[in-house]
Amino acid sequence: MSGPAQNPDNRLTVNLGAIAHNLEALRALLPRGARVAGVVKADAYGHGLVPVASTLKQAGAEALAVAALVEGEHLRKAGVEGPVYLLLGLRPDQARRAAARDLIPVCADMDIFRALDAAGRERGRPVPCQLKVDTGMGRLGVAVDQAVEMLEQLIRLPGLELTGLVSHLATAGDPASDHARRQTAAFAGLLSQARQRGLALADSSLAGSGGVLVPLRQMPSPPCLVRLGVALYGGLPDPASAGRADLQGAMSFTSRLLAVRRAPAGTLVSYGCTWRAKRDTWLGVVPAGYSDGYPRSASNRARMLVNGRLAPLRGRVCMNLMVIDLGGLDPLPRPGDSVTLLGRQGEAEISANQLAAWAGTIPYEITCSLGAANQRRYI
Ligand SMILES: *Cc1c(COP(=O)(O)O)cnc(C)c1O
Q: How far is the CA of 177 from the centre of ligand 1 (A)?
A: 18
Lining residues, ligand 1, CB within 6 Å: 39, 41, 87, 168, 208-210, 227-231, 237
1 within a domain of the structure (yes/no): no
Quote the pLDDT of residue 214: 83
Whether residue 35 lies inside any domain: the answer is yes
- Asked if 79 and 88 touch (Cβ cutoff 8 Å), the reply is no
Same domain, 181 and 64: yes
| Residue 243 covered by a domain | no
Q: Residue 1 pLDDT more than 60?
A: no
The structural domain count of the chain equals 2
Residue 280 belongs to a domain with what CATH number?
Answer: 2.40.37.10
User: Are 335 and 289 contacting, i.e. CB atoms less than 8 angstroms apart?
Assistant: no
Which ligand 1 atom lies nearest to the CA of residue 364? 8
206, 236, 266 — which closes off a domain? 236
Give, using CA atoms, the residue closest to atom 15 of ligand 1. 87
Q: Which residue has the higher pLDDT, 11 or 4?
A: 11
> What is the C-alpha to C-alpha distance for residues 304 and 130, in angstroms, rounded to an integer?
44
Segment 358-379 mean pLDDT? 97
Q: Does the pLDDT at position 237 exceed 70?
A: yes
Residue 6, pLDDT above cutoff 90: no
Among protein residues, the one whose CA lies closest to atom 4 of ligand 1 = 229
Residues 136 and 268 in one domain: no
Residue ID of nearest Cα to ligand 1 atom 1: 229
Report which ligand 1 atom has the smallest distance to the Cα of 227: 10
Q: Which of 39, 43, 368 to mutate to test the pocket of ligand 1 (most atoms within 8 A of CB)?
A: 39
Residues 272 and 211 in one domain: no
pLDDT band at 177, cuts 50/70/90? confident
Same domain? For 163 and 311 the reply is no
pLDDT at 31: 85
Position 175 pLDDT exceeds 90: no
Q: Considering only CA atoms, which residue is closest to atom 6 of ligand 1?
A: 229
CA nearest to 56, candidates 229, 204, 203, 222? 229
Q: Which residues are registered as beta bridge partners of 349?
A: 344
How many residues does the structure list for the chain?
Answer: 379
- Does 166 share its domain with 287? no
pLDDT of residue 4 exceeding 70, the answer is no
Residues 209 and 340 in one domain: no
The last residue of a domain, from among 236, 264, 293: 236
| Rounded average pLDDT over 155-175 | 92
CATH of the domain at 47: 3.20.20.10
CA of 229 to the centre of ligand 1 (A): 6
pLDDT tens digits along 311-355: 999 999 999 999 999 998 999 999 999 999 999 999 999 999 999
Mutate which of 26, 84, 168, 226 to test ligand 1's pocket (most atoms within 8 Å of Cβ)? Answer: 168
| 98 and 218, same domain (yes or no) | yes
What's the pLDDT at 218?
61
> Does residue 22 form part of some domain?
no
Share of the chain above pLDDT 70, in %: 97
- Which atom of ligand 1 has the smallest separation from the CA of 210? 7
Domain that holds residue 42: 31-236
Pairing of strands 348-350, 259-263: unpaired
pLDDT band at 217 (very low <50, low <70, confident <90, very high): low
Asked if 77 and 105 touch (Cβ cutoff 8 Å), the reply is no
Tell me, in angstroms, the distance from the centre of ligand 1 to residue 321's CA. 33
Cα(354)–Cα(203) distance, rounded to whole angstroms?
Answer: 34
Give exposure, 119-152, as e/b (b: 16+ Cβ within 10 Å). Answer: bbeeeeebbbbbbbbbbbbeebbbebeebbebbe
CB 277 within 8 A of CB 263: yes
pLDDT given for residue 252 in this prediction? 98
Q: Name the DSSP class of 220.
A: P
CB 174, CB 190: distance < 8 Å = no
Give 95: exposed, middle or buried? Use CB within 10 Å, 0-12, 13-18, 19+: buried
- In one letter, which amino acid is 117? D
Does 6 fall in a domain?
no
Give a yes or no: residue 4 inside a domain. no
Residue 108 lies in a domain: yes
Q: How far is the CA of 333 from the centre of ligand 1 (A)?
A: 41
Closest CA to 84 of 110, 115, 56: 56
List, as one string, the DSSP characters of 197-210.
Answer: TT---TT-B---HH
Ligand 1 pocket, mutate which of 23, 166, 205, 227 (most atoms under 8 A from CB): 227
**Closest to 217 measured CA to CA, from 249, 168, 184:** 184
Q: Determine whether 337 is exposed, middle or buried from the number of CB atoms within 10 Å of its CB (0-12, 13-18, 19+).
A: middle
Specify the ligand 1 atom closest to the Cα of 205: 11
Contact between 290 and 319 (Cβ < 8 Å): yes
Q: pLDDT tens digit string along 286-299?
A: 999 999 999 999 99
Q: Are residues 102 and 203 in the same domain?
A: yes
Helix axes 352-359, 363-373, angle to 10 degrees: 100
Bridge partners of residue 107, in order along the sequence: 131
Ligand 1 atom closest to residue 212's alpha carbon, by position in its atom list: 9
Q: Is the pLDDT of residue 220 over 80?
A: no
Burial of 71 (0-12, 13-18, 19+ CB in 10 A): buried
Active site residues: 41, 271
Is 79 domain-assigned? yes
What confidence tens digit (pLDDT) does each residue in 90-149 have?
Answer: 999 999 999 999 999 999 999 999 999 999 999 999 999 999 999 999 999 999 999 999
| Mean pLDDT (whole number) for 259-273 | 98
Q: Give yes or no: residues 63 and 156 share one domain.
A: yes
Question: If you average pLDDT over residues 14-39, what whole number do you get?
Answer: 95
Average pLDDT estimate for 161-187: 90
324, amino acid identity = I
74-89 average pLDDT score:
98
Q: Are residues 118 and 266 in the same domain?
A: no
Task: Please give the distance, rounded to the nearest whole angstrom, from the Cα atom of residue 169 to the centre of ligand 1.
Answer: 9
For residues 203 and 256, membership in a common domain is answered with no
Q: How high is the pLDDT of residue 332?
A: 97
Annotate 115-169 with DSSP letters as a single string.
HHHHHHHHHTSPEEEEEEEESS-SSSSEEHHHHHHHHHHHTT-TTEEEEEEE---
pLDDT attached to residue 56: 98
Question: What values do phi and psi take at 306, rounded to 5?
Answer: -130, 125
Per-residue model confidence (pLDDT) at position 373: 96
Q: Which of 236, 260, 292 is the last residue of a domain?
A: 236
The secondary structure of residue 15, as a DSSP letter, is -
Q: Are residues 186 and 277 in the same domain?
A: no
